Amino acid sequence: MAGEWFESVAVAQRRAEKRLPKSVYGALIAGAEKGVTLKDNTSAFDLLGLAPHMANLPRERNMATTVLGQDVSMPVLISPTGVQAVDPYGEVAVARAAANRGVAMGLSSFASKSIEEVAAVNDKVFFQIYWSGDKDTLVQRLERAKAAGAKGIIVTLDWSFSNGRDWGSPWIPEKLDLKTMAKLAPEVLARPGWLWSFVKSGHLPDLTTPNMAPVGTKPPTFFGAYYEWMQSDLPTWEDLAWLRSQWEGPFMVKGVCRVDDAKRVVDCGATALSVSNHGGNNLDSTPAPIRSLPGIVAAVGSDIEVLLDGGIRRGSDVVKAVALGAKAVMIGRAYLWGLAANGQAGVENVLDVLRGGIDATMLGLGKASLAELTPEDVLAPDGFFRTLGA
Ligand SMILES: Cc1cc2nc3c(=O)[nH]c(=O)nc-3n(C[C@H](O)[C@H](O)[C@H](O)COP(=O)(O)O)c2cc1C
């Protein structure tokens, strides 16, 4: 079964669950506290209806667009996700898959592969940073990303360091030495396909974060990087404006839920924002991004590119978000499951599934281009939308 084409993101998820050790799969599922937001992120899309036509449908559909200055083949970007022991080639495999499908990629500063390796195989990479370390450190990371060829910056600000998950957080080791290998052995040996992929690649899962240290120095472990972030000052709006002034070119702020925050992001000079709640990993009970999107688009959509991430599992979700005003969406778990199911080919498979779904939805709605999509294409139940901070 591993290595075979799959027809939906749901199938990719089931394969990921079968293939990955329990704690690795658990780290992908995640979701803060009770998972109220995690659930709403996906189920909110199910509440939105579509109104198809059945004749005069367009033979050609064009879903190409431009996001953060990059021409992309569809309105879907790879959202940055932190160090994952999902696949031996990790973010490099994701970057290759995205490049093969004309898709741009956000690379996490907590990634397990360096920005240099990733930008070498995909020329549409945006480097994601947290407000971690002091200003000199942040500038050094921006300069490194620029030198490596990053086309833009994504600053992620939504994180409240919450812990305590009702589903039980998986144990993630500090590093993979013999002692931790022995502890993990039962669940790893139950997943021989995953283990074999690392054996074939010639190395064990790497739990370090090479982008968190200057080139040529020893990278911190995931927990070392996380500790630095936890100890750092919490950024002010002035800090954000300062950070923006340190980077020439596209600059996205990820994690916006409120209209008032969206306006401050515009004031800081950002070129894009993503309506997001960190995939349900920040404050539980935050509404799904798709509920907050129209209010934010109405307030700042003519000043800044508005993206959305959270809960995208099929092409029709993408079309609903674009119809409600998103320039594009970003995906997280969907591509991680593809990566787990079948490496680079699995990520390509997920992107193809989404492309096929976008195309079918545009056909059904009778739309030849993304620009023709409007909020009238989406049927929302009364009280569906949430406008926070207006
Ligand atoms: C396992 C995992 C790790 C993540 N790591 C990061 C990260 O390092 N930086 C970041 O900005 N967002 C991170 N995110 C959030 C994603 O970029 C994105 O906002 C979220 O996954 C979107 O929701 P979706 O998974 O439903 O598509 C992570 C999400 C997951 C599931």
217-223 long-range contacts (CB < 8 A, ≥24 apart) are 221/174, 221/175, 222/82, 222/83, 222/110, 222/172, 222/174, 223/172, 223/174
Distance 278 CA to ligand 1 centre (A): 5
pLDDT in tens, 368-382: 999 999 999 999 999
Distance 330 CA to ligand 1 centre (A): 9
Q: Is the CB of 286 under 6 A from ligand 1?
A: no
Tell me what the mean pLDDT of segment 332-347 comes to: 97
Q: Where are the beta strands (DSSP E) in the chain?
A: 49-50, 65-67, 70-72, 76-78, 105-107, 125-129, 152-156, 251-256, 272-275, 305-309, 328-331, 378-379
At 250 the pLDDT is 98
pLDDT tens sequence across 83-138: 667 899 999 999 999 999 999 999 999 999 999 999 999 999 999 999 999 999 99
Q: Which residues contact 255 (CB under 8 A, 6 or more apart)?
A: 156, 157, 158, 159, 274, 276, 277, 278, 282
pLDDT band at residue 264, thresholds of 50, 70 and 90?
very high
Give yes or no for a contact between 50 and 365, defined as CB atoms under 8 angstroms apart. yes
- Please give the backbone phi and psi of residue 62, each rounded to the nearest 5 degrees, phi first: -120, 120
Instruction: Based on the residue annotation, tell me whether 278 is a catalytic residue of this protein.
Output: yes
**Closest ligand 1 atom number to CA of residue 277:** 19
Q: What is the pLDDT of residue 1?
A: 56
Distance 59 CA to ligand 1 centre (A): 36
Segment 21-43 shows an average pLDDT of: 93
Which residue carries 């696949």 as its tokens?
Answer: 87
What is the rounded average pLDDT of the residues 133-159? 97
Question: Can you tell me which atom of ligand 1 is nearest the CA of 30?
Answer: 31
Buried b (16+ CB within 10 A) or exposed e, 266-304: bebebbbbbbbbbbbbbbbebbbbbbbbbbbbebbbeeb
- 136 Cβ contact list (under 8 Å, min separation 6): none
- Best residue for ligand 1 mutational test, from 9, 79, 159 (most atoms within 8 Å of Cβ): 79
pLDDT digits (tens, 9 = 90+) for 180-234: 777 888 888 888 888 888 888 887 787 899 999 999 899 999 889 999 999 999 9
The predicted pLDDT at position 110 comes to 95
84 vs 12: which has the higher pLDDT = 12
Pocket of ligand 1 contains residue 332 by CB under 6 Å? yes
